[in-house]
Chain A
C-alpha cells in the first residue's frame, strides 16, 4: 500500500508486506463495521443491562425466613384431622405487613403431631378432610378429584403426583407452633 500507512506495528507490517500483501490488513469497511457495531452495542447494552436486571429482580430476590407461629392449644388436637387457621404478616413488595391467612390440617399421631398443608399438589386447589361421601376418611380435592390418605400420601390414579406438604412444628407451653413447609416426594 502507499507510504502513509499506520506507523505502530509498522515493522511487522513491512515484514509481511514483501510476501503476502493483506495478511494484517483490515479493510476500511471492516474497521467501520467493527467500531460502529462496538459503539452501538455498548450504547444498547448500557440501556438494556440495567433494565433487564431490574425486570428479573423478583427471580433473584431471596424469600424471607418463615417464623414459627402459634396455631392451636395442644389440648384442642385429637387424632381426627382438624383445620386451623393462622395469620402471617407478609411484605408484598411495597405493601408491607399484609395480614395473610393460612391454614393447616392438624392431628395427633401417638405422641407426635402431623400438620398438613391444604394446598393440593396437582394444581393448587384446597383439599379438605372427609368431604367426599364416596371417599371417606381421606383428603379430597374438589377440582379434579385428587385424593390423599390421612398421612397426606397421594392416592395413585388420581391427579396429584406428590404427597401434601407438611409443616415443621414445635410445642412450647402447651401450644403448637407451625414453621416452614417441608416438601415430600
Chain B
C-alpha cells in the first residue's frame, strides 16, 4: 500500500491535493473533544454524509426502478421484495430522505444561532438557502416515484399548493404536472427532475458552498 502510494505520489504529486482538501487544524471551539457542545458544528458534515448516501442508494435504485405508470409500482415492489438486500437499499433512500432534511434543518439552526451568516459569509447563507430548496425539491419529486396511493395524493396536494401562487400558480401547476392531471407525464417529469436536474444543481451548489467555506474559513467562537 505504502509503496504503491509512494510510487504514484512520486509521479503524480498527489500529496498536495489531499493536503489541500483534508489537512487542516480543527479550531478548538468547533471540536467536540474540547467542548462537548461543539457537536452542533457536526451537522453540516452529517448533512453532506447523508446526501452521499442518498446519491449512492439512488444510483442503485435506478438499476431496477422504471418511471412508467404501468410498471413503476411493480418495479419498486420487485426490488423491495425479490431482489437481495433491496429492502435495505430502498430503506437507506427512504429513511435517508427524512434524515437529510432533519440534518439540514439542524445545520441551519446552528449557523443561525452562532451568527455565522454575518459578514463576510452572507453569500454562503444564500447558497445554503438554495441548497435547502433543492433538497426539499428532491424530497417532493422523489415521493411520487413509487406511484402508490400515498405518492399520488401527496403530489396532487403539492401541486394544488403550487397553484395557489398568485397569477402564475396555474401555469406552475400545469408545468410541473406535464398536463392537466397527475399521470404518465407527471411521473416521467418528476423522475427526470429527481434523478438528473436536481442532483446536478445539488452538486454545483455543494461545490460553491465548500469553496466558500475554504476561502472564508470557519466562523470564530461566540
Measured CB to CB, the residues of A under 8 A from B are 47, 50-51, 53-55, 57, 60, 93-95
Contact = CB atoms under 8 A, between A and B. Distances in A.
Contacts of B7: none
B86 interface: yes
19 contacts: A47-B92, A50-B88, A50-B89, A51-B56, A51-B89, A53-B85, A54-B60, A54-B63, A54-B79, A54-B86, A54-B88, A55-B63, A57-B83, A57-B86, A93-B64, A93-B75, A94-B71, A94-B77, A94-B78
A54 B78 contact: no
Given A47-B53, A93-B64, A94-B77, A57 B71 contact: no
Interface of B: 53, 56-57, 60, 63-64, 66, 71, 74-75, 77-79, 83-86, 88-89, 92
A105 to B, nearest CB: 35
Contacts of A94: 66, 71, 74-75, 77-78
Nearest to B89: A54
Contacts of A47: 53, 56, 92
A148 B108 CA distance: 73
Given A51-B57, A94-B71, 15 more contacts: A47-B53, A47-B56, A47-B92, A51-B56, A53-B84, A54-B60, A54-B83, A55-B60, A55-B63, A57-B85, A93-B64, A93-B75, A93-B78, A94-B74, A94-B77
Contacts of A50: 85, 88-89
B71 A95 contact: yes
B83 to A, nearest CB: 5
A54 B84 contact: yes
A14 to B, nearest CB: 30
A53 B64 CA distance: 14
A88 B70 CA distance: 22
A2 to B, nearest CB: 21
Contacts of B77: 94
Contacts of A51: 56-57, 60, 85, 89
Contacts of A95: 71, 74
A53 B77 CA distance: 18
Contacts of B86: 54, 57
B81 to A, nearest CB: 10
Which residue of A60, A93, A95 has the most chain B CB atoms within 10 A of its CB atom? A93
A55 B60 CA distance: 7
A93 B83 CA distance: 9
A85 B53 CA distance: 49
A55 B56 CA distance: 12
Contacts of B57: 51
A40 to B, nearest CB: 11
A60 B71 contact: no
A112 B180 CA distance: 64
> Which A-B residue pairs are the 5 nearest by beta carbons?
A94-B78, A50-B85, A94-B74, A50-B88, A54-B85
Nearest to B72: A94
A68 to B, nearest CB: 26
A142 B66 CA distance: 36
Contacts of A55: 60, 63
Contacts of B74: 94-95
A60 B85 CA distance: 13
Which residue of A50, A54, A55, A60 has the most chain B CB atoms within 10 A of its CB atom? A54
A57 to B, nearest CB: 5
Contact of A57 (B53, B66, B75, B84): B84
A162 B40 CA distance: 68
Which residue of A50, A53, A95 has the most chain B CB atoms within 10 A of its CB atom? A50
